[in-house]
Amino acid sequence: MRSDRQKVMRLLKTARGQIDGLMRMVEEDRYCVDVSNQILATQAILRNVNSQILHDHLDHCVKEAMRTDSAEEKITEIMAIIDKLTK
């Protein structure tokens, strides 16, 4: 993975902190809309991280595979991810 590792780790740690906060909110029986908003914020961070990683994959791994005539496997992998993202 060639993504900005420090940025990715910071975002993942933020998401982990938000999940810990969500667990406390549920334990404290907090207002449902507040919990839902926090879930949406956490999902946004994870989508951002996933996007960064996939962009990096396309920019490096897939480009390299195309140069070496081994792109079919990488394209199949990306298609599987796109299928998961659109479900």
Q: What's the pLDDT at 25?
A: 98
- Enumerate residues 6+ apart whose C-beta is below 8 A from 24: none
Report the C-alpha gap between 19 and 27 in whole angstroms. 12
Q: Is the pLDDT of residue 1 over 70?
A: no
Q: What's the pLDDT at 32?
A: 97
- How many C-beta atoms lie closer than 10 Å to residue 18's C-beta? 19
DSSP alpha helix (H) spans, the chain: 5-27, 32-56, 63-67, 71-85
pLDDT tens readout for residues 45-75: 999 999 999 998 888 888 888 888 788 888 8
Domains, the chain, ordered by start:
5-85 (1.20.58.1000)
Residue 14 vs residues 22, 57, 73: alpha-carbon distances, Å: 12, 23, 33
Q: What's the pLDDT at 87?
A: 87
pLDDT tens readout for residues 4-39: 889 999 999 999 999 999 999 999 999 999 999 999
- How many C-beta atoms lie closer than 10 Å to residue 10's C-beta? 12
